Amino acid sequence: MKENYRIGVTIALVFVLMVLLSIAGTIRNSKEAKSKETKLSQAEALDAPAQKRAVVETAAVSVPLTEADREFLEGLAGRFKEGDLEGAARLVEANGESFHEFPCMYSEGVMKREITDGTGLVFLKPAVVFYGDFKNGVPEGKVSAISVLQLEEGKRYDYSYGNWKNATMNGSGECGYRYYDGVKEDITVKTSKSGMFQDDIMQGDVTYSSTNRQGETAVWQFSVDNGVIVINGRWIKETDENGKVSYKLLANGEKDHAYTLSELAIGEARWKNLILFTGKKRGGIEQ
């Protein structure tokens, strides 16, 4: 009888011990789960500001576009790709007021308030647009640019295109202007200066052409040094009755067309890129 009693007590004690161990394990697991949840919650809380900053930064960089904006930008990029600068100028004239913060860049379907590496359109002003390759925030490679103007004598765009390096034209290129609408006076409606550029200044041999309202084009070839014409035997020096000196160069193969400059003008550094890439820092100095 006593033996049975001892066995019963032993069984009861073992049962109680197992229940206690089970309760302790449940409490421990619960604490570990809560600890993990707390750590996760803290990690998410720490990461939340970073996520918020990323959203804010993205919003600050991107510019919302309407369907009309996209149509304009894609059409403008297409005109530049085709070399249709007049078409590009007409689009800018009609749509250039669409954007109000500059510079801004349209590349791969996105308009941004910063200039990133890649190929795209860059607006420096509503009517000053660059298209081509960019690196470190400036033109680098093949780039074209137009500046659309509305003048008393008519609508005109200045242009430049060629090789760019470190935000300036370097290498072969061309610049000039063209009146494309509204011209009523007998003026020069198109000019072109092509040759080699060094930091936006022309060097060496230059081909210059001028077209009047009737569509007649004359072409001259000469040399420049740091943008200044080098006078040689082909230039004719003339002095009028008042003692004023001028220099005249006959057009290639034509005696009826002469390019004439005053003594002061021929010494000016006027042979250079017409559209500068401004507003970026070069060597710590804002241009």
The pLDDT > 90 percentage for the chain reads 70
Which candidate, 142, 270, 277, places its Cα nearest to that of 206?
270
Is 8's pLDDT higher than 80? no
CA distance 248 to 259: 6
In a domain, 16, yes or no: no
In a domain, 6, yes or no: no
In a domain, 193, yes or no: yes
Is 111's pLDDT higher than 90? yes
* pTM: predicted TM-score of the whole model, two decimal places: 0.76
Q: Identify the pLDDT of residue 14.
A: 45
Is 20's pLDDT higher than 70? no
In a domain, 234, yes or no: yes
Q: Identify the pLDDT of residue 47.
A: 52
Q: Identify the pLDDT of residue 285.
A: 30
Q: Are 88 and 146 in contact (CB under 8 A)?
A: yes
Convert the pLDDT of each residue in 237-284 to its tens digit. Answer: 999 999 999 999 999 867 778 999 999 999 999 999 999 998 543 333
Residue 139, preceding peptide bond in cis (omega within 30° of 0): no
Q: Identify the pLDDT of residue 229.
A: 98
CA distance 259 to 189: 16
Average pLDDT of the chain to the nearest whole number: 84
In a domain, 236, yes or no: yes
CA distance 124 to 128: 6
In a domain, 206, yes or no: yes
Tokens of 51: 């996520």
Going 225 to 231 to 234 to 238, the CA torsion angle's sign is: positive
In a domain, 111, yes or no: yes
In a domain, 232, yes or no: yes
Convert the pLDDT of each residue in 25-59 to its tens digit. Answer: 544 555 554 554 544 455 454 454 444 434 434 44
- The mean pLDDT of 56-85, rounded to a whole number, is 86
Domain count, the chain: 1
Which candidate, 133, 113, 126, places its Cα nearest to that of 65?
113
**Residue numbers of the domain that contains 223:** 67-282
Convert the pLDDT of each residue in 116-170 to its tens digit. Answer: 999 999 999 999 999 999 999 999 999 999 999 999 999 999 999 999 999 999 9
Q: Identify the pLDDT of residue 10.
A: 53
